[in-house]
Amino acid sequence: RPSARSSSKIKQKTTQCSAMAIVFDGYSRVYPASYYEDPSLTEFFYRIGLSLGEFAFNSTKYPHDYAFTLRMLRSWRLVDVGGAVLLAMLFTALRYVISVWPVANWLQIQPASKLKWPESIWKFIAYSGLWLYSLYVVLLSGRYDFFHNPVDILRGIIFDENYLEKPLPSDIYWMYALQLGFYLHSVYATLFMDAWRKDSIMMLFHHGLTIFLLEFSLLMKYYKTGALVLFLHDLSDIILEFTKINVYLKDRGKKLFLLNEWLANIGFVMFAFSWAWFRLYWFPLKVLYPSHWSVYLYHQGRDPKMFVFFNSMLFALQILHIYWFYFIVLLLVRVATGTQREVEDTREYEEAERHRRLNGHQESPGVDDASQDGTVDSAATSIRHRTNKD
């Protein structure tokens, strides 16, 4: 068991050798300094595989701690769930107020977009508020450094008897409470308030997965990972709703507003870039990689507690990112090749198909045959109409 002086010598020596020493539980472990740098693509997959090989397929060395899992479930507090439900009700009430606000009529928005307009306005406001608060907590407050040093995300965590009773920082707690309330509201809104889209089922799965991840990371005190996930997600949604708002505003009152069309095009480019950067680059680099590699560095020989289960949920979230990026690429290809002239939501059903599904009745053969398989979107419909007019 090294003394403080010997530990200091170890750190000094390893620094000179371009390496770093990790000291915990009375013993030290030395790793190259490159282990703490951003990985190359090869290192990314190799180290994740190394971590999974150590923990996921080694049940003899790391048996599941059922007693800890039971204590974790018992730490669930009714007051936290009740608070999230009350916040969800508040979000739903605010959404309803915006939905009945007659701004769409004042602006003479096209009838097909009148129901979508308040949906996008509400989401733009909600996502902006949630992301700005996350930005303040994660970066601007100066209280945390896990964004810049994500590999240290599990450093210092010791799963002792009092671990589950440790309180969360108040700013992190309120970030979780607001997000849980919003996503509980989003489940209700997707079912009963939003326009139904091709990926609405996937959206419900996303909301359910997000709620589960938030609650699980809250109980397990993996709040640093949870805060990073929240921070990396909402900005793309803000830009998306801004883009859709301008799509609905560009054609109103039987006039084409070029400013809104320009803002919609610029917004979509920004949205595609932010999605690729935040969810396809930073999410793997700041969340998936540290959630595996940090366990390997700091918890070898010690039970990592639900490591495989938690990270499998994070990977499921990344699969959804890739799935939705398909729609983004699809629209980019359509616009670039001239198949589609304008930026529109390629996930949306034709209005007839949407009403048919919501009302639960089927139309006779030959009526709107192009939409019977439920795969033709409103963008394609608008192209057909413009082509026929031409």
Q: Quick: pLDDT tens for 372-385.
A: 333 333 333 333 34
pLDDT at 176: 94
**Percent of the chain topping pLDDT 90:** 28
- The answer as to whether 358 is a domain residue is no
Token output for 188: 């209700």
Please, which residues have CB within 8 angstroms of residue 266's CB and are 6 or more apart in sequence?
none
Segment 77-134, tens digit of pLDDT: 888 889 999 999 999 999 988 887 777 777 778 777 777 888 899 999 999 999 999 9
Lowest mean pLDDT among 120-129, 222-231, 330-339, 373-382: 373-382
For the chain, what is the domain count? Answer: 1
Q: Is the pLDDT of residue 149 over 50?
A: yes
Query: Looking at the domain assignment, is residue 356 inside a domain?
Result: no
Q: For residue 183, give the nearest of 160, 205, 158, 152 by alpha carbon.
A: 205
Residue 161 placed within a domain? yes
Alpha-carbon span 155 to 135, nearest angstrom: 23
Q: Which residue has the higher pLDDT, 42 or 376?
A: 42
Q: Residue 173 and residue 166: Cα distance in Å, rounded?
A: 12
pLDDT band of residue 192 (cuts 50, 70, 90) is confident
CA distance 156 to 67: 22
* 3-state secondary structure labels for all residues of 124-190: HHHHHHHHHHHHHHHHHCCCCCCCCCHHHHHCCCCCCCCHHHCCCCHHHHHHHHHHHHHHHHHHHHH
User: For 184-208, b where at least 16 C-beta lie within 10 A, e where not — what string?
Assistant: bbbbbbbeebbbbbbbbeebeebbe
**371: DSSP letter:** G
> What mean pLDDT do residues 44-55 have?
89
Q: Is 49 a domain residue?
A: yes
- Average pLDDT of the residues of the chain: 78
Query: Average of pLDDT values for 39-43?
Result: 89
Least confident of 9-23, 195-209, 327-341: 9-23
pLDDT higher than threshold 80 for residue 195: no
11 is a domain residue: no
What pLDDT digit, counting tens, does each position of 247-303 carry?
Answer: 888 888 778 878 888 999 899 999 999 999 999 999 999 999 999 988 888 877 777
Low-confidence winner among 62-76, 182-196, 237-251 (lowest mean pLDDT): 62-76
Residues 231 and 325: their CA atoms lie apart, in Å, by: 19
Whether 1 maps to a domain, the answer reads no
Mean pLDDT lowest among 140-149, 187-196, 351-360 = 351-360
Residue 8, in any domain of the structure: no
Residue 351 has pLDDT above 50, yes or no: no
Q: Is residue 380 part of a domain?
A: no
Reading the block at residue 133, the tokens are 């608060």
Q: What is the pTM of this model?
A: 0.77
* pLDDT of 25 above 80: no
pLDDT given at position 263: 92
Domain that holds residue 157: 37-348
